[in-house]
Structure 1
Amino acid sequence: MRLKKLIGTFLLVSLVIIYALLATIIAVAHLGDASVWVHLLYFAVTGLLWIVPAMGIIWWMAQPPRSRADG
């Protein structure tokens, strides 16, 4: 269980770093001449969108370990 949480922690940190870099790169490449409202909408959506994969990782971390068959 501890190994699962350690792996999940590294996955979450990696997700946040990679997601933030990608969202920023996309914003710089495509939103240079856009209005303030487009920037606001983009960063509001991308600021909340990372929660979906993070919830999946946290759900995986919270699951009890699989029982091994004694077979």
Structure 2
Amino acid sequence: MPVRLRKFLGTIVIVALVIIYALVATAVATVLLGDQPWWIALLYFLLTGLLWILPAMVIIRWMAGPPSNSD
């Protein structure tokens, strides 16, 4: 796969990941954290605010990978 196409697809996937992840994390927080103390909500949002980085790192590593031999 050409490098430019790989980077384009990776960018689209990362944007979709961030949008979907934010919507799901917010929906879960709305359901679970309504009657919890503020510090539990803070811990939840700190954890979920950092957790999306793991799949994004995998996508970025794939985007920056070596070009295929078929180019």
Q: Which TM bucket (shorter chain)?
A: over 0.9
| Aligned mates of 1:64, 1:7 — CA distance in 2 | 16
Residues 1:37 and 2:39 aligned together: yes
For structure 1, which runs of at least 5 residues remain unmatched after alignment?
A: none
Q: In percent, how many aligned pairs have the same letter?
A: 59
- Separation in 2 of the partners of 1:66 and 1:42? 40
Q: Distance in 2 between matches of 1:16 and 1:30?
A: 21
Larger Rg: 1
In the alignment, structure 1 residue 48 sits paired with structure 2 residue 55: no
User: What is the root-mean-square deviation of aligned Cα atoms in Å?
Assistant: 0.6
Take 1:66 and 1:6, find their aligned partners in 2: how far apart are those partners? 16
Separation in structure 2 between the aligned mates of residue 50 and residue 36 of structure 1, nearest angstrom: 22
> TM-score, length-normalised on structure 2?
0.93
Where does structure 1 differ by over 2 angstroms across 4 or more consecutive aligned residues?
Answer: none
Match of 2:27 in 1: 25
Gaps of 5+ in 2: none
1 or 2 for the larger relative contact order (CA 8 Å, sep ≥6)? 2
